[in-house]
Amino acid sequence: MLSKVAVVLNEHLAMFEFGVVCEVFGLDRSEDGLPVFDFRVCGAQPGRPLVSSSPGITVTPQYGLEELRGADLVAIPAFPFGSGTDFDPVVVQAVRDAAAAGAIVLTVCSGAFLAGAAGLLDGRKCTTHWRYVERLARMYPEATVDPDVLFVDEGAVITSAGTAAGIDACLHLVRRELGSGVANKIARRMVVPPQRDGGQRQFIERPVADCDSDSLGDTMRWMNEHLELPHTVEDLASRSAMSTRTFARRFAAEAGTTPVKWLTSQRILLAKQLLEETTLDLETIAGRCGFGSGALLRHHFQRQVGIAPTEYRRRFGS
């Protein structure tokens, strides 16, 4: 359960990544029925301004590092690489102690280097901004650095790639600890997808793709509203007033995938929602999602999500 969130700042910081953590965990959204976190910005010398990556802006931590003790989450935002990676040993030890006491540690972008300095990446998978993955791997050879994902969830340690990937990691953590309903409401307030697909089989949602074409956009919305129906490319092309070849080409160009793959992804997304929010049996869910049978649903779900539907419900069901 997330209650107390401590953001730890080093000598320098990147404002956007710091702002991501503040946006997800620091705002009072109780009017939307969302939990309010005990949010604290911490530094080695509270009250002393720290230099940010944005010209003319400084950030002054209100709390000292002792606030990391008892925190449920310690968030480490990014820092500009021009400032180097010589972290204050006091900050490193505070992060190490908080993790040893049971705090979840979440890093955004280059914040992974501070987690590495605290020994938290050893024996774990992790990631950071694609520009820094080789450097991270050299500095912390006991870690397994994955350059292709938006974030890596290793339970007690979550690392994320550059900039906006921090949003994905933060919302994923909220979803994991507090449920998809809370994560979705926060995402809606932030006007972002609940989470994006990072190319790996992570437990994240696939938003409906935006489309520049009115005809394609209308067809995609109709498909999404009628997932239980059988769809052929020929029928969808006719609905879009295009030839089959033109429809397939334009769909791939605008959605980034084929109509069949897109449709399967949307059906899996609906299946995940039904597994999370209802007690419907697998055959009923398969019918509502257009898979026809529980066996076919299990096949596609395992292939796309990486675990069986029953295991997904056990982990994320309300």
Q: Which long-range contacts (CB under 8 A, 24 or more apart) does 215-222 make?
A: 215/240, 215/241, 215/242, 216/240, 216/247, 216/250, 216/251, 216/254, 216/255, 220/255, 220/262
Task: Print burial letters for 19-56: b (CB count within 10 Å at least 16), e (below 16).
Answer: ebbbbbbbeeeeeeebeebebbbbbbebeeebebbeee
Say which CATH superfamily domain 4-190 falls into: Class I glutamine amidotransferase (GATase) domain (3.40.50.880)
Say which CATH superfamily domain 206-318 falls into: Homeodomain-like (1.10.10.60)
Note down pLDDT in tens along the chain; length 318 residues.
Answer: 799 999 999 888 889 999 999 999 999 999 999 999 999 999 999 999 987 777 778 899 999 999 999 999 999 999 886 555 678 999 999 999 999 999 999 999 999 999 999 999 999 999 999 889 889 999 999 999 988 788 999 999 999 998 889 999 999 999 999 988 899 889 888 888 766 654 333 334 444 444 555 668 888 889 888 999 999 999 999 998 999 999 999 888 877 788 998 899 889 989 988 998 899 999 999 999 999 999 999 999 988 888 899 988 887 776
Domain extents for the chain?
Answer: 4-190, 206-318
